[in-house]
Chain A
Amino acid sequence: MFMFKKHIPRRAVLKGGGAALLLPFLDAMVPAATAMAQTAANPKLRAGFFYIPHGAVQFDTKFGPEGDRWTPSGSGASYTLNTITQPLEPFKRYVSTIGNLENAASAGSVHVRNPGSWLNCSTPTTTIDQIIAGKIGQETTLPSIEVASETTVQQAAGNGTATAITLSFRGTTPLPMEYNPKKVFNALFGVTTPKERVLNARESDSLLDLVLDRARTFRSELGAADRAALDQYLESVREIERRIAIVAATDISSMKIPERPVGELDDFDKQVDLIFDLLAIAYQADLTRVASYVMVAEGTNQTYTHIGVPESFHPISHHANELPKIEQVVKIQTWHMERFAAFLKKMAETRDGDGSLLDHSIFLYGSNMGNSDKHSNWPIPTVLAGAGNGGMKLGGQHIDLKQRTPLANVHLTLLRKFGIEQSAFADSTGVISEL
């Protein structure tokens, strides 16, 4: 639900349901969005990466395949979802689930390297979202957006270590995941009115000129090691210069901009929905085409009282093969899938040129852990959704790969779908032809 500060009775909003209320509002923005180089003949492909920590309850608990609550089966008409994946039912034509993936890069990580090795299958190096942003993100204000529902600094996961706090790396630089909705909003729409936004952009531009000017002399005063650090800083400065140029040239005053959120919400469930809403708006208004989202932090102590789970996610994910605990973990994992499904619903209902946003997107949803009780790095639960401008196989399918197929094969396949031809990615052994 977008957070209006006043005059929207909560009950009415609840009754209306998130999407119902949001859609008219989103529709209001479509003219502005279409103005940004969107035509029916030329739909833009979007990418999204949605992360949930602590794996999924699969076939590798003490209860074996009987106890599997994640893995679907079959394909097409016989494609049957499981408990946790059930919320995908309305969109299953758009869904592929993949079994038996392994990520060698997160072996023995406990929690510290799981988020940061999900999208690169490696020690810190450029992640696939950033590779894709490099290809398709250059026309939009934000080449990519990185968000979270809560702080990703967690005691149980390295307490601020780079590989735990983010999904996204550019080179070895971790990209911070923003969890303050107000700052996410500001990144999308600016900190002030559209008119002032353009003036501010000009002012920022001259400030960046100063930075670049000074950096040239600064650089000559430094040794080789420090120059490399400065260059990485300058790369970011140039990127912002480019963004500012787009902002200065983009008139968003015709866009109906929603009210600025005040800040982080106290209720976790509303916070998750708000971040999803901001992403939906960003995709629709073509402010970005690539997003990565940590739905809840690795090693989190988040509780889920709104679905009757008062226990904290991380401790209870060490379920020790006890059924009551496993059931609570399944509830949490199902709830997250529901939120993702609600987002897919918005994407499916949002017109984008000749189709819907879901037709023009590829979304990866998953974890970088198999069995949370063992911190195992396989099987990595993985969902793909979206038609990908016709690039993805439709109809719904569970793809049962050879045991311990590298997760990097998924990444290599996705890169190809975005027109990035690479012969290999990380430890990949090939593409997944079924997708």
Chain B
Amino acid sequence: MQAAAQSGTPAGASHLALLTTYCYSCHNPRTRMGGLTLQGLDPRAVGSDAEIWEKAVRKLRGRQMPPPGSPQPEQKDIDAFVGWMEDQLDANPRAPKAGYVGLQRLNRTEYAAAVKELVGIEIVARDVLPQDTAVDGFDNIASALTVSPTFVEQYVEAARMIAKKAIGDRSLDSTSYPAAAHRGTEAMPLGLRDGGMRLKHNFPVDGDYRFNILFPDQTLGLYTGSLENEATLVLMIDGRVVFRKPIGGLDDLMLNNRKAGDGRQQIADRFRNVSLPIQAGVREVVVGWIDRSRFESLSNQAGGGGGLPNFNSIEIKGPYNPTGAVSTEGRKLIYVCDPKTTSEARCARQIAENLSRRAFRRPVTEADLARLMPFFEAGRKEGDFDRGIERLVAAVLVSPDFLYRTIRGNALTDYELATRLSFFLWNTGPDEELFALAASGKLRTPAVLDGQVTRLLADPKASSLVTNFAMKWLGLDGLAAHTPDQQIFAGFNDQLRLDLVIEAESFIHSVLLENRPLVDLLTSDRTYLNDRIARHYGLPGINGTQFRWVTLADTNRAGLLGKGAILMRTSYPDRTSPVLRGAWVLDKILGTPPTPPPPGVESDLSQRAGEKPATVRARLEQHRASPTCAQCHGVIDPLGLALENFDAVGQFRTTDRQAGNQPIDASTVLPTGRPLHGPVELRAYLAADPAKFAQAFTEKLLMYAVSRELEYFDMPQVRTVVRGAARDQYTLSSIVRGLVRSDAFLKQGAAH
């Protein structure tokens, strides 16, 4: 067309020819397919069209355009065009360099982490604050972190509760730990079976504490004869067994049969008011069952009815007969002086100064102290020094300066930078070292910044990058709500699901935080498992429920695409979904997510009653025969079909038992015409372009780092970071080092 005729350089000419041949027939001013016109735009002067070209480049990279069924350019021509087009975009002088991040409140996981840092109290965020809104799965996006009255109410309540616990007192208090929230999140100590509870409790003062181990209603979960076998319940404090009593067996069975409710009450009473002397401090409390060798089906574990009676909450009451001084983790962090040696007023001021500096992530002003000290004084007046400090702590925790992060200028100040860096890598505010570097103005020196990235990534707090970033990025944080169909997958249970999450999380942790090449996420033959996962995967010779690292012999299992958690997450409860799996690969690995299904589309592929059972593949092909469906599914499905060797819970299979044991066909042809056979070849195909994967990863990491959705003008910076990380094989630290030096990280754009 005209644009082609005007093209100057020979290189530009061939690229314009590609647009003319393959794009303009739909994306012209008349047809405007998908609301997009390319014809008439000049890709050699992207200027204000950069946003459109970024979209076009993404579609081409993902081979989502031209749609399957339309004439296709050669891959090498696409690659050449994409490379050339990205150069035009990267050189665009008109693009802004940074986006705008407004007032940002702490989300509830950041709040919990900050509270632990500040005053040493561990809280379960979801028990204390309401659900935060997420964007693209991430719950730290500033614009979405609005404040509802419910939030304010719970927030103020939380501040008072945390302050009280942090200071601690001798008054009788009772804390109840429901099993639903605490069971199974951590592995049981060796010798105990799964299905117990493991938690940390703060004992504020030396004294006696009463434990109530409560069973549901009065039934002890007796519906299925759980008293038939004797089991032994133990209570451990800091690894030492302090209480041990049997439940079940012939005597208890008789008691139950003879006296029914009263009998069960007698049994349950054995586990109430267990009084124990305990020294002040945060101690680990474990309540669980002694592991036995007799056979128990997996479904009997972890509170799944039958097998064992199961308690549903633990209550800890105390102190009774307290002795000695109140001692908590919080006091160690808060009391930077002793009111007995320093004057009370001066000590309170020192405490206020130290605590609010750490909480507000900036130097404290006289005005800050003038607002806070009256709370100490009011508390001191109504009680003692401790009471004054308690009210002071609550006041610090409700302050907007704690709740909100702000960026005030066009470039981040040193304190703002320390804060952004710390929340990015640690999910909480800066420590003393970052604070000191910010104070001295040295933090932004490239060498210092590099050093801090290395230090922060080496700290255990960096595991927040796995739990709050990677697990959300990969969609694995919601797996608890995924329940495979029990009729089809009878051997599957909650414990195994939890194990699979631990496997995935530990695996991701080892690649990202042990600084391995990013592509190891796809290819690594190491994994972290126990006997339950080994059985599930069909691996011989692994005994015991404790996790350990193993090298996988079966290459089908390598990397994320061999992990049960991912394979399950991308399936329906009763069957696999090549569509979900393909979409997952496109989004997470290739960085080119498909568009959501259009309205009015009937989307089920389940087999019809009375019909000969067909494989998922066959049913999918049926619907891909329609040209409209094929436009998207021609790109999505092939990637998912290559994983058909894994069933809906991630077990390897060669036949489909839901389709009359027909053989699984995991061969497929990509839109490029390239054939793929099974998981191993798919993995090799994806891993062959580590830069593409690194870009998909870097985009999401930048979004998480700066707490906003990315815009088209971020892409040149993303590409710069990816290019810079190439020589380090795209390790997490090389990508992070690049990101924190980018304008997107260091600067603030204009509000819109």
- B600's partner among A112, A264, A301, A376 (CB-CB below 8 A) is A376
B221 to nearest A CB, angstroms?
11
Q: Other than A153-B131, A230-B400, give 7 A-B pairs with Cβ distance below 8 A.
A: A10-B217, A203-B394, A207-B160, A222-B408, A236-B151, A318-B602, A323-B609
- Within 8 Å CB of B475, what residues of A? 155, 159
Does B191 lie at the interface of the complex (its beta carbon under 8 Å from any beta carbon of A)? no
Within 8 A of B (CB), among A190-242: 191, 200, 203-204, 206-208, 210-211, 213-215, 217-218, 221-226, 229-230, 232-233, 236-237, 239-240
Cα-based distance from A225 to B101 in the complex (angstroms):
10
Among residues of B, the one whose C-beta sits closest to the C-beta of A148 is B131
Comparing A88-96, A169-177, A338-346, A412-420, the segment that makes contact with chain B is A169-177
**Which residues of A are interface residues toward B (Cβ below 8 A)?**
5-10, 107-110, 112, 143, 146, 150-155, 159-162, 165, 170, 172-178, 180, 182-183, 186-187, 191, 200, 203-204, 206-208, 210-211, 213-215, 217-218, 221-226, 229-230, 232-233, 236-237, 239-240, 243, 262-266, 300-301, 303, 305, 310-312, 315, 318-325, 373-377
B372 proximity list for chain A (CB < 8 A): 210
CB of B371 within 8 A of chain A?
Answer: yes
Closest-by-CB residue of A relative to B570 is A155
Q: Which of A213, A226, A301, A320 contacts B481 (CB 8 A)?
A: A301
Q: How far is the CA of A303 from the CA of B130 in the complex (A)?
A: 25
A residues near B399, Cβ cutoff 8 Å: 210-211, 214
Q: Kindly state the separation between the CA atoms of A153 and B133 in the bound complex, as whole angstroms.
A: 9
The reply to whether A108 and B598 form a contact with Cβ atoms under 8 Å apart is yes
Instruction: Report yes or no: B478 in contact with A320, Cβ–Cβ below 8 A.
Output: no
Q: Does B181 interact with chain A (Cβ within 8 Å)?
A: yes
Is B161 engaged at the interface, CB distance under 8 Å to the other chain?
yes
Question: Contact check: which of B151, B214, B573 meets A311 at CB < 8 Å?
Answer: B573
Given contacts A159-B475, A218-B400, A236-B152, contact A266 B131 (CB under 8 A): no
Contacts of A152 in B (CB 8 A): 131
CB distance from B146 to the nearest CB of A (A): 4
- Which 10 residue pairs spanning A and B have beta carbons closest together? A160-B134, A320-B604, A176-B130, A225-B751, A263-B178, A108-B599, A318-B604, A226-B103, A239-B149, A10-B217
State the B residues within 8 Å of A (CB).
100, 102-103, 105, 126-127, 130-137, 139, 144, 146-154, 156-157, 159-161, 176, 178, 180-181, 214, 217-219, 261, 265, 303, 312-313, 367, 371-372, 375, 378, 391, 394-395, 398-401, 404, 406, 408, 475, 478, 481-483, 485-487, 569, 572-574, 596-606, 608-609, 751
Whether B601 lies near A214 (C-beta < 8 A) is: no
B150 touching A207, Cβ below 8 Å = no
For A175, what are the chain B residues with a Cβ–Cβ distance below 8 Å?
148-150
* Given the contacts A240-B149, A373-B603, A225 and B100 also touching, CB distance less than 8 Å: yes
State whether B599 touches A210 (Cβ < 8 A).
no
Chain B contacts for A232, CB-based, 8 A: 146-147
Contact A203 B751 (CB under 8 A): no
A153 with B156: in contact, given A162-B133, A214-B399, A236-B149 (CB under 8 Å)? no
Closest-by-CB residue of A relative to B127 is: A180
CB distance from A103 to the nearest CB of B (A): 12
Known: A187-B153, A211-B400, A232-B146. A6 touches B218 (CB 8 A): yes
Q: Cα distance A229–B157 when bound, in Å?
A: 22
- A151 in complex: contacting residue of B102, B219, B481, B596, CB < 8 Å: B481
Partner of B408, one of A170, A221, A311: A221
Q: Is the CB of B375 within 8 A of A206?
A: yes
Residue of A nearest to B265 (CB): A7
Min CB gap B179→A, angstroms: 8
Contacts of B144 in A (CB 8 A): 162
What is the chain B residue whose CB lies nearest that of A371?
A: B602
Separation of A222 and B682 alpha carbons in the complex (Å): 51
In the complex, are the beta carbons of A160 and B371 less than 8 A apart? no
Q: Which residue of B lies closest to A300 (CB)?
A: B481
Cα distance, A175 to B391, chains bound together (Å)? 29
Chain A nearest Cβ from B601, distance in angstroms: 7
| Partner among B105, B150, B265 whose Cβ is within 8 Å of the Cβ of A187 | B150
Q: By the criterion CB–CB under 8 Å, are A222 and B406 in contact?
A: yes
Contact B146 A172, beta carbon cutoff 8 Å: yes
CB distance from A240 to the nearest CB of B (A): 5
On whether the beta carbons of B148 and A170 are closer than 8 Å, the reply is yes
Question: Which of B261, B378, B487 meets A9, CB within 8 Å?
Answer: B261
**Alpha-carbon distance A217/B150, docked complex (angstroms):** 24
B367 near A217 with CB under 8 A, answer: yes
Interfacial chain A residues near B574, Cβ < 8 Å: 311-312, 315
List 20 A-B pairs, Cβ < 8 Å. A107-B599, A152-B131, A153-B131, A154-B481, A155-B475, A159-B136, A160-B134, A160-B137, A182-B127, A183-B127, A208-B156, A218-B401, A221-B406, A230-B400, A232-B147, A237-B152, A239-B152, A266-B312, A311-B573, A322-B609
**B400-A214 in contact (CB<8A):** yes
* Residue numbers in A under 8 Å from B404 (CB-CB): 218, 230
Task: Give Cα A170 to B151, complex, Å.
Answer: 13
Q: How far, in Å, is A89 (CB) from chain B's closest CB?
A: 31
Q: Give the complex CA separation of A207 and B322 in angstroms.
A: 31
Contact residues in A for B600 (Cβ distance below 8 Å): 374-376
List the A side residues contacting B214 at CB < 8 Å: 5-6
Bound Cα distance from A310 to B490, whole angstroms: 12
Bound Cα distance A284, B367 (Å):
47
Residues on A with beta carbons closer than 8 Å to the beta carbon of B599? 107-110, 374-377
Q: Do the beta carbons of A177 and B148 come within 8 Å of each other? A: no
- In the assembled complex, the Cα of A230 lies from the Cα of B605 at a distance in Å of 48
Contacts known (A110-B597, A301-B482); A160 close to B103, Cβ less than 8 A: no
CB-CB under 8 A from A236, the residues of chain B are 147-149, 151-152
Does the CB pair A183–B154 fall under 8 Å? yes
Determine the residue in chain B with the shortest Cβ distance to A377: B599
The answer for the CA separation of A266 and B302 in the assembled complex, in Å, is 12
A376 and B154 alpha carbons, distance in the complex (Å):
37
Q: Which residue of A lies closest to B368 (CB)?
A: A214
| Contacting residues, chain B, for A159 (C-beta < 8 A) | 134, 136-137, 475, 478
Note all chain B residues with C-beta closer than 8 A to A223.
408, 751
Residues A229 and B156 in contact in the complex (CB < 8 Å), given A214-B401, A221-B408, A315-B572: no
Q: Considering the chains assembled together, what is the distance between the CA atoms of A153 and B569 in angstroms?
A: 15
B147, A233: Cβ atoms under 8 Å?
yes
CB distance from A139 to the nearest CB of B (A): 16
Q: Which residue of A lies closest to B305 (CB)?
A: A266
Knowing A210-B371, A325-B606, the reply to whether A10 touches B303 (Cβ < 8 A) is no
Q: Are A200 and B160 in contact (CB under 8 A)?
A: yes
Nearest CB in chain A to that of B144: its residue: A162
Complex interface: chain A residues within 8 A of B151 (CB): 176, 236
Give CA–CA (A162, B127) in the complex, Å. Answer: 20
Question: Does A151 contact B131, Cβ atoms closer than 8 Å?
Answer: yes
